[in-house]
Amino acid sequence: MKVFKSLVLFLVLPLVRGSMVQLKNGGYEDIVIAINPGLPEDSSIITNIQAMVKEASTYLFNATKQRFFFKAVKIIIPLTWQPKPEYLSLKTESYDKADVIVADPFLKHGDDPYTLQYGRCGEKGQYIHFTPNFLLNDRLLKIYGSRGTKVFVHEWAHLRWGVFDEYNNDAPFYVSDNSGNTIVEATRCSANITGKYVVQNCAGDNCIRNCSYDNQTKLYEAGCTFVPDVIQNTPASIMYMQSLASVSTVISF
């Protein structure tokens, strides 16, 4: 089965947010990805968006057990960019209504891809934000994982299904009482993901050491971080850490 149908390019000026995405026979249609009109022209942004979505469609199809895929996506091109014969005129699409925007980073996020979510679990997000550097700099693949198979599908789950990350930067650890053994665990899915508990604290040439246990909080010391092993022997949810090679599922249906 062909799991990706079409990409349509539009040349327009940006014109209030309201997604036009439709789900028909498992295929998501009328997804709008808009490039901020203030960005300088770079055709590689368009090329990498196309590659990302095509790759994401196949991954989503497999990860959801052949339930969903991306069928039709429209890319809004800034009017300041050079026109091309394949560019079409807009109908009702606009930058302000886009499901995905490509724009310069906000200080809070840097190049981190993110989805703006105001609602509760199960409520759709507002939009996905990618920076030009995220789309163009292949060195970031080591940090975030594949743009299509990992990042775009991870953010789409935020946007479309209103799910949240399966990690917690505000509460990165918890006390687990499993089979009578009380231990400190990192917040993650699944709990079988292996890794090291380390803290960065330079002393001479050594800047990384194992975390110490805090008898007051019953957790690890402040600044402790869980670093997953690169090679895992257990499946992981894409909502935990999509860069892990063992990530194989999006969400249970």
CA-to-CA separations, 151 to 86, 90, 128, 196, 223, in angstroms, rounded = 28, 28, 11, 24, 26
Residue-wise pLDDT for 39-86, tens only, equals: 999 999 999 999 999 999 998 898 888 899 999 999 999 999 998 888
- The catalytic residue among 41, 155, 166, 185 is 155
Rounded mean pLDDT of the chain?
80
Q: Would you state the pLDDT for residue 12?
A: 43
Question: Helices (H) and strands (E) in the chain — how many of each?
Answer: 4, 18
CB atoms within 10 A of CB 77: 22
Q: Using CA of residue 182, residue 188, residue 193, residue 199, what is the dihedral sign?
A: negative
Q: What's the pLDDT tens digit per position in 95-132? A: 989 999 999 998 777 898 999 988 777 788 899 999 99
Number of alpha carbons in the 13 Å side-chain half-sphere of residue 196: 9
Q: What is the pLDDT of residue 223?
A: 82
Of residues 204 and 129, more confidently modeled: 129
Q: What is the pLDDT of residue 81?
A: 93
Least confident of 1-10, 14-23, 167-176, 183-192: 1-10
Q: Percent of the chain scored above 90 by pLDDT?
A: 31
Residue 198: pLDDT over 80? yes
Active-site annotation holds for 155: yes
Higher pLDDT, 138 or 120: 138
Domain annotation for the chain: domains and CATH numbers: 6-164 (3.40.390), 173-236 (no CATH)
pLDDT at position 176 over 50:
yes
